[in-house]
Structure 1
Amino acid sequence: MPSFLEERLPVDVRLGMSYADDYTVMITTTSGGAEYRKLVQPFPARSFHINFTTDQADLWSRVIALYHRAYGKFAGFRVKCMDDFSTNNLTGTPTPLDEVLANSSTGIYQLRNFYGTNGTALAGVGYPSRTIFKPVAGTVVAAKNGVTISSGLTVNTTTGLITISPAPLISDTITAGCQFDIPCRFNSMIEVTAIDRKFRDCGSIDLIELLNP
């Protein structure tokens, strides 16, 4: 049974959304009050809190239907964060020079998006990146040594891997940009409240990002 649905949580119905990024940090406090902190994973993990208020038929046919197709908390799906869906300044049109990708000798590269700056570090503290597993089809653009790649570029929109053929040299600088969705799953049940005969409200829907979908 597949554990990820390649479909997007509806965002074109009336909704309210809040979100927050967190990092897994283990903190140990000694008897003297000193703290020892260990960063378990250097990637942001986003959680969403969503409230839908919409027509009953729309809620049932789209939001509730997705919940059931996902078997509740079991399967993941795509979520577009309206404040953070592009490698170009969060919401801009992607460019081939947006983000530097890790070196590869195989011609296969993983899309990613840095937060804070473009992959540099300051005083030993790195600026983290989000691995982009779910780029939006038709939005990925890439460049080699600053020159846009116009042919030989293949994009896997289910993994975020791009393949460049022929494979660049290990010393070449590969950059890329795209729009992306965040892979998430439901982290709560959906409680529906009848507002009147036609409209329904389902608040307190919690979603959590899947770091390894």
Structure 2
Amino acid sequence: MAFHDIRFPVDISLSSDGGPERRTDIVTLSSGHEERNSPWAGSRRRFNAGYGIKSLAEIEQVIAFFEARHGRLHAFRWRDPFDWKSCSIADAPQPDDQPIGTGDGEATQFQLAKTYVSGGHGHTRKITKPVDGTVVVAVNGVTVDPGNYGIDETTGLITFDTAPADGAAITAGFEFDVPVRFDSDTLSISLAALKAGDIPNIPVIEVLS
């Protein structure tokens, strides 16, 4: 299997249905109390691209894309319609959007990440598929010239030419895609059903790294 660095048609994915999924194991004790445990460190996203299919031309696009990925075999980029920026979807990414590390005077590589916070609790998600040309970086609140660092769009790793100073706050803003694969080796699409308003089932699922 491989990762194909190509994005699923955005016009279709932006009308998809789906979002994050977590796994929680729950045991109910004889007292009625619960013990809850999560074997997953983070969430995994699932979508149904069928909600975005509105025309025969879009069906042809999806069939070609499916065949080129060999069904479930190869992963690809996906634009999450609800979560694809380091900031609010209505805003433009800024260099101070997300904390991604603290300098120690030696480290030159830092992983892009997005932190979700609510009610004093949070979760930090590793971002591995930033969009080319959208990443902006700051060290201690000062925007860094793009010529002074590199960004790997396939891993989300930022590499500085010179290690940030000890204690320096490193932040970044960016757009990003989700690495996914088809969650079925079969596409079952009926043109008659589509004309009747029925939604085809085209499941995709996030590939965790």
Q: TM-score range by the shorter chain?
A: 0.7 to 0.9
Aligned to 2:113: 112
Asked if the contact 1:142–1:148 (Cα under 8 Å) also holds between the matched residues in 2, the reply is yes
Deviation of the 1:15 alpha carbon: 7.2
SS in structure 2 of the partner of residue 115 of structure 1: strand
- In structure 1, what is the Cα distance between the partners aligned to 2:14 and 2:94? 30
- In structure 2, what is the Cα distance between the partners aligned to 1:15 and 1:173? 34
Deviation of the 1:13 alpha carbon: 4.8
Q: Deviations over 1:78-114 (max 9, x none)?
A: 1112221110124421100000013354210111111
Distance change (3 Å), C-alpha of 1:182 and 1:91: farther
Amino acid at match of 1:110: Q
Deviation of the 1:67 alpha carbon: 1.1
SS in structure 1 of the partner of residue 95 of structure 2: coil
Aligned to 1:3: 2
- In structure 2, what is the Cα distance between the partners aligned to 1:13 and 1:28? 40
Select 1:132's aligned residue among 103, 127, 136. Answer: 127
**1:159 aligns to 2:155 (yes or no):** yes
Aligned to 2:56: 56
SS in structure 1 of the partner of residue 18 of structure 2: strand
Q: Which moved more, 1:203-212 or 1:36-45?
A: 36-45
Identity %, equivalent residues: 33
Higher strand share: 1
Gaps of 5+ in 1: none
Q: Deviations over 1:105-153 (max 9, x none)?
A: 4210111111226xxx83xxx4112211100000000000000001311
Asked if the contact 2:15–2:81 (Cα under 8 Å) also holds between the matched residues in 1, the reply is no
- In structure 1, what is the Cα distance between the partners aligned to 2:72 and 2:63? 13
Aligned to 1:87: 86
Aligned to 2:27: 28
Select 1:182's aligned residue among 178, 184, 190. Answer: 178
Deviation of the 1:77 alpha carbon: 0.7
Deviation of the 1:160 alpha carbon: 0.6
Q: Which moved more, 1:187-196 or 1:108-117?
A: 187-196
- In structure 1, what is the Cα distance between the partners aligned to 2:166 and 2:65? 43
Q: Which moved more, 1:12-21 or 1:143-152?
A: 12-21
Higher helix share: 2
Q: How many aligned residue pairs are there? A: 203
Amino acid at match of 2:78: V
CA RMSD of aligned residues (A): 2.6
Deviation of the 1:37 alpha carbon: 1.5
- In structure 2, what is the Cα distance between the partners aligned to 1:91 and 1:44? 24
Asked if the contact 1:194–1:201 (Cα under 8 Å) also holds between the matched residues in 2, the reply is no
Asked if the contact 1:44–1:128 (Cα under 8 Å) also holds between the matched residues in 2, the reply is no
**TM-score, length of structure 1 as denominator length:** 0.84
SS in structure 2 of the partner of residue 128 of structure 1: strand
